[in-house]
Amino acid sequence: MVRNKLTLLPCLMSLILMSASCGGKNESRRETTTEGETRVVAETPFSADSAYAAVAHQVAFGPRVPGSEAHKRCATFLSAELTRHGLDVIEQPMTLTAYDGTRLECVNIIGRYRPEASERILLFAHWDTRPYADAESDPAKWRTPIDGANDGGSGVGVLLEIGRLLQTKGLREGLGVDIIFFDAEDYGVPQFAEYDGDTEKTWGLGAQYWAKNPHTPDYRADLGILLDMVGGEGAAFYREYFSQESAGRAVTEVWQTAHDLGYGSYFHNAVGGGLVDDHVFVIRHRRIPCLDIVDYDPARTTGFPATWHTLDDTMEHISRETLQAVGSTVWTVLTKK
Ligand code: AHN
Ligand code: ZN
């Protein structure tokens, strides 16, 4: 009797932990946070190490500014990775015009999982990086391109890992996915420039092009999920305003899933400010309901993380835990569809 009780106790404990973190559906594990605390999170097949390596690989090319050699080489890498994961890859080359008239040779990179399926989820991120560190206080740094480990690199890193899972784990029959890496998101008018036009239109150039010229005529998806700055240490994800308006129910589903997995400390269940990001153009021109998982806290001075558009947006500030929180959440949402 006594022995029975003793062996039962640890089992009961882990059962309680499991149901607390994820309703008992998944295996759970203890994760030690960078602050040295422990948190119980659900086990999913998403590998933060793989995502992290994919971010590091992009950063190693150097800043991926449209027109640069690093940009070209990174495009080749991204296409090859999606192909390696068994996706059907389409490159959409385009010449875009920046706010200052600069012609940009760009490419959107699309990886299709089950292209024939009519039920589809669109997952997207921008892969270019900002030519300007215009959020630096020192004007001498404003024209230096940034590494974009978080801003650019992180969303792509998470989606490359999701691409690997599509091949190795798959999704239920009849459900297709498109992964799109949009170019020229971050060539928007810098803070130091004088500009008369509509600043909104200077951001998300690759997404704007695609939304008006999709890779298949009349392309549609049931839902779009944008990942933007999803790898920063201490990230905070709020229910972004336009996402809320366009795909409120899906936002609830994603935030609830994150909470159930044990990532409620990243996904705040409160509405955040509206952000002109790639999803706005996909919503507006393709009428696809979209949500943006973006490190954006309306309570901070810029709204964005401290490294945003600075020379500190480097690998040093990339957190595997944050990548895990977002990757596990998005993967779990897909498996529930
Ligand atoms: C604005 O700053 C208006 N939109 C930019 C969204 C963004 C930039 N995401 C990453 N970099
Ligand atoms: Zn940016």
Ligand with the closest atom to the CA of 302: 1
Task: Write the pLDDT tens digit of every residue in 61-83.
Answer: 999 999 999 999 999 999 999 99
Query: How many Å lie between the centroid of ligand 2 and the Cα of residue 310?
Result: 9
Among 128, 134, 147, 203, the mutation site with the greatest number of ligand 1 atoms within 8 A of its Cβ is: 203
pLDDT (tens, 9 = 90+) of the chain, 337 residues, equals 333 443 433 433 343 333 334 444 558 887 777 777 788 999 999 999 999 999 999 999 999 999 999 999 999 999 999 999 999 999 999 999 999 999 999 999 999 999 999 999 999 999 999 999 999 999 999 999 999 999 999 999 999 999 999 999 999 999 999 999 999 999 999 999 999 999 999 999 999 999 999 999 999 999 999 999 999 999 999 999 999 999 999 999 999 999 999 999 999 999 999 999 999 999 999 999 999 999 998 888 999 999 999 999 999 999 999 999 999 999 999 999 9
CATH of the domain at 321: 3.40.630.10
Q: What pLDDT does 16 receive? A: 36
Q: What pLDDT does 30 receive? A: 79
Q: What pLDDT does 10 receive? A: 41
Could you tell me if residue 62 is inside a domain? yes
Could you tell me if residue 1 is inside a domain? no
CA distances from 299 to 97, 212, 272, 308, 326 (A): 34, 34, 9, 15, 21
Could you count the other beta carbons within 10 Å of the beta carbon of residue 99?
Answer: 18
Q: What pLDDT does 50 receive? A: 98
Q: Is 301 helix (H, G, I), strand (E, B) or coil?
A: coil
Q: What pLDDT does 26 receive? A: 59
Domain with 274 in it: 6-336
Nearest to 163 by CA among 222, 220, 232, 114: 114
Number of residues in the chain? 337
User: How far from the centroid of its chain's Cα atoms is residue 335's Cα?
Assistant: 18
- Total domains in the chain come to 1
Could you tell me if residue 292 is inside a domain? yes
* CA-229 nearest atom, ligand 1: 10
Q: What pLDDT does 236 receive? A: 97
pTM: 0.92
Among 156, 189, 237, 277, the mutation site with the greatest number of ligand 1 atoms within 8 A of its Cβ is: 277
d(CA 49, CA 51): 5
Residue 236 is encoded by which pair of tokens?
A: 């905070």
* CA-152 nearest atom, ligand 1: 10
Residue 272 · residue 304 · CB < 8 Å: no
Could you tell me if residue 107 is inside a domain? yes
Q: What pLDDT does 264 receive? A: 97
Could you tell me if residue 148 is inside a domain? yes
Q: What pLDDT does 222 receive? A: 98
Q: What pLDDT does 88 receive? A: 98
User: Which residue shows structure tokens 């366009």?
Assistant: 246
List alpha helices for 23-138, DSSP H.
48-60, 69-84
